[in-house]
Structure 1
Amino acid sequence: LIYAPSCSTVTRRRPIYLGGSHHRWSETSRTISTWHLHYQENRKRHIRSETSKPGLHKTAVIAIKKWKEEGHVVRKYELNRIVRELRKLKRYKHALEVCEWMTLQQDIKLLEGDYAVHLDLIAKIRGINSAEKFFEDLPSKMKGQPTCTALLHIYVQHKDFSKAESLMKRMSECGFLKCPLPFNHMMSLYISNGQFDRVLETLHELKKNTSPDIVTYNLWLTACNSQGDITSAEKIFLELKKTRLNPDWVTFSLLTSIYIKNSRFEDALLSVKEMEKQVFKKTRVAFSSLISLYTGLGRLEDVNRVWKKMKSSFRKLNDAEYNCMISSLIKLNELEEAEDIYTEWESVSVTGDSRLPNLILAAYINKNKIKMAEMFFEKRVAGKGIVPSYTTWELFTYGYIHEKQMDKVLECFKKAIGSVKKWEPDLKIIREVYRLLEEYGNVKGAEEVLVTLRNAGFVSTELYNLVLKVYFKAGKMPLIVGERMKKDGVLMNDETRQLIKVTSTMCVSEVPSYL
Structure 2
Amino acid sequence: MVAAAAVAHATCLLYCRRDASPFCLQICEWMRTQPEMRLLPGDHAVHLDLVAKVRGLPSAEKFFEDMPERAKGPSTCNALLHAYVQHGRRDKAEAMLEEMAKAGYLTCALPFNHMMSLYMSSGELEKVPEMIKELRRYTIPDLVTYNIWLTYCSKKNSVKAAEKVYDLMKDERVVPDWMTFSLLGSIYINAGLHVKGRDALVEMEKRASRKERAAYSSLLTLYASLSDRGNLDRVWRKMRETFRKFSDTEYKCMLTSLTRFGDIAEAESFYSEWESASGTRDSRIPNTILAFYIKNGMMEKAEGFLDHIVQKGVKPSYSTWELFVWGYLSDGRMDKVLECLKKALSCLEKWDPNPQLATAIYSQIEEKGDIEAAEKLLVMFREAGYVTTEIYNSVLRTYAKAELMPLIVDERMDQDKVSMDDETRSLLRLTSKYPIGEVSTLMS
Q: TM class, shorter-chain normalised?
A: over 0.9
By how many angstroms is 1:213 displaced? 1.7
CA RMSD of aligned residues (A): 1.9
Deviations 1:241-260 (A, max 9, x none): 22333211111111111111
Counterpart for residue 159 of structure 1: 88
Distance 1:466 1:74 in 2: 71
Deviations 1:50-108 (A, max 9, x none): xxxxxxxxxxxxxxxxxxxxx998423433333323442x3422221111101101111
By how many angstroms is 1:161 displaced? 1.8
Amino acid of the residue matched to residue 432 of structure 2? S
Aligned residue among 338, 363, 372 for 1:444: 372
Distance 1:465 1:387 in 2: 36
**Aligned residue runs from structure 1 range 474-493, under 5 A:** 474-493=402-421
Deviations 1:306-348 (A, max 9, x none): 1122222222211111111111111222222211111111111
Aligned residue among 278, 283, 287 for 2:207: 278
Distance 1:143 1:360 in 2: 51
Are residues 1:254 and 2:183 paired?
Answer: yes
Asked whether the 8 Å contact 2:119–2:128 carries over to 1, the reply is yes
Asked whether the 8 Å contact 1:361–1:376 carries over to 2, the reply is yes
Tell me: CA distance 1:91–1:173, structure 2 relative to 1, closer, same or farther (3 Å): closer
Asked whether the 8 Å contact 1:390–1:416 carries over to 2, the reply is yes
Counterpart for residue 391 of structure 1: 319
Counterpart for residue 110 of structure 2: 181
Distance 2:260 2:275 in 1: 21
**Aligned residue runs from structure 1 range 155-304, under 5 A:** 155-304=84-233
Are residues 1:369 and 2:314 paired?
Answer: no
Q: How many residues align?
A: 443
Asked whether the 8 Å contact 2:16–2:25 carries over to 1, the reply is no
Asked whether the 8 Å contact 1:281–1:313 carries over to 2, the reply is yes
Distance 2:383 2:148 in 1: 43
Distance 2:246 2:298 in 1: 30
Aligned residue among 262, 269, 272 for 1:343: 272
Amino acid of the residue matched to residue 109 of structure 1? R
Deviations 1:343-389 (A, max 9, x none): 111111121111111111111111112122112212x2223232111
Is the partner of 1:507 in helix, strand or coil? coil
Are residues 1:80 and 2:10 paired?
Answer: yes
Can you give the 5+ residue segments of structure 2 that lack an aligned partner in the other structure?
A: none
Amino acid of the residue matched to residue 239 of structure 1? L
Amino acid of the residue matched to residue 208 of structure 1? R
Distance 2:68 2:5 in 1: 23
Asked whether the 8 Å contact 2:16–2:28 carries over to 1, the reply is no
Aligned residue among 412, 427, 433 for 1:505: 433
Distance 2:300 2:379 in 1: 30
Counterpart for residue 106 of structure 1: 35
Amino acid of the residue matched to residue 362 of structure 1? A
Distance 2:417 2:137 in 1: 54
Asked whether the 8 Å contact 2:12–2:28 carries over to 1, the reply is no
Amino acid of the residue matched to residue 344 of structure 2? A
Is the partner of 2:372 in helix, strand or coil? helix
Counterpart for residue 315 of structure 1: 244
Distance 2:372 2:168 in 1: 65
Amino acid of the residue matched to residue 195 of structure 2? E
Distance 2:9 2:158 in 1: 46
State which drifts further: 254-263 or 241-250: 241-250
Distance 1:466 1:344 in 2: 46
Is the partner of 1:467 in helix, strand or coil? helix
Amino acid of the residue matched to residue 332 of structure 1? F
Deviations 1:384-427 (A, max 9, x none): 23211111111111111111112212221222222222223222
Instruction: Considering fraction of residues, name the structure with more helix.
Output: 2
Is the partner of 1:282 in helix, strand or coil? coil
Amino acid of the residue matched to residue 452 of structure 1? M
Amino acid of the residue matched to residue 360 of structure 2? E
Distance 1:223 1:108 in 2: 43
Asked whether the 8 Å contact 1:443–1:474 carries over to 2, the reply is yes
Distance 2:160 2:103 in 1: 37
Distance 2:194 2:321 in 1: 37
State which drifts further: 296-305 or 425-434: 425-434
Is the partner of 1:387 in helix, strand or coil? coil
TM score, norm. by length of structure 1: 0.82
Tell me: CA distance 1:492–1:244, structure 2 relative to 1, closer, same or farther (3 Å): closer
State which drifts further: 445-454 or 498-507: 445-454
Amino acid of the residue matched to residue 220 of structure 1? W
Tell me: CA distance 1:455–1:111, structure 2 relative to 1, closer, same or farther (3 Å): same
Distance 2:138 2:414 in 1: 59
Is the partner of 1:75 in helix, strand or coil? helix
| Percent of pairs with identical residues | 47
